[in-house]
Amino acid sequence: MSLPGPSIETLRLMDVDVFILIGGRSSRFGSDKAFFEFEGEALAARMARVARMAHPGAQVRFLAASGAQFGEKTTELGAPAVFDLRPGSGAWSGVHAALSCSQAEWTLILACDLAFVTAEFLRSLLENAMENVDAVVPRQPDGKLQPLCAVYRTHAVRPIVEKNIDSGGRLPPLASIFESLPTAIIDVDPEMLRNINSPADLS
């Protein structure tokens, strides 16, 4: 359920950095998802374009596990790349790097394979990033929250991510982070967050 958000003009002035995660192993996909072409553009480039449409003033960067993962291929995507600062913790590492590199009050984190996400949907997430919450996250049709398509209040959330990584134990699912955050939860169309595991899923 969407909460009353700020005006369009206020949204344009919102301080947001965007990070698109491109560093997964894509083992089930068979090739690097980030560079797979869908409707004439690489998935990662598509996500960057959609994010810029949602918030033209936001800085967009790509996030990979390390500089060695893709080499110079990231230059093809049209935005800078940053890399995990605490590698080895999967998605937790990616979220930590995004929040550590972000220079904005709010950080929008997106997985590169969310091919059906629209600018309007991302705008609705940003519209719900208000003073009384530290995160905005969509709820999938299966009831699970999707932390890799979410907005985070940068300085409030980063210490929580660091605490989990530093705990030394087995990390819980990333979505558990919302248990300790004031969070706005948004219900979405079933197609919006469709899981892409193979090229056939994009047919």
Q: Please state the pTM of the whole predicted model.
A: 0.87
Residue 1 confidence (pLDDT): 44
Tens digits of residue pLDDT in 101-121:
999 999 999 999 999 999 999
Q: Who wins on pLDDT, 168 or 137?
A: 137
Question: What are the C-alpha distances in Å from 41 to residues 36, 44, 76, 95, 149?
Answer: 8, 8, 11, 25, 20
Domain-wise residue ranges, the chain: 8-202
Query: For residue 169, what pLDDT band results from cuts at 50, 70 and 90?
Result: confident
Q: Beta strands 41-42 and 59-64: pairing type? A: unpaired
Q: Higher model confidence: residue 196 or residue 6?
A: 196
Residue of 131, 87, 134, 137 lying closest to 111 (CA atoms): 137
**Which tokens belong to 21?**
């995660």
Relative to beta strand 81-83, strand 59-64 is parallel
Average pLDDT over residues 28-41: 75
- 154-166 and 91-101 are packed helices; what angle lies between their axes, rounded to 10 degrees? 140
Nearest to 126 by CA among 6, 20, 1, 9: 6
The pLDDT, as a whole number, for residue 11 is 57
The mean pLDDT value for 42-46 works out to: 92
CATH code, 8-202? 3.90.550.10
164 vs 5, residue with greater confidence: 164
Q: Which residues pair with 111 in a beta bridge?
A: 21
- Lowest-confidence region among 8-12, 112-116, 177-181: 8-12
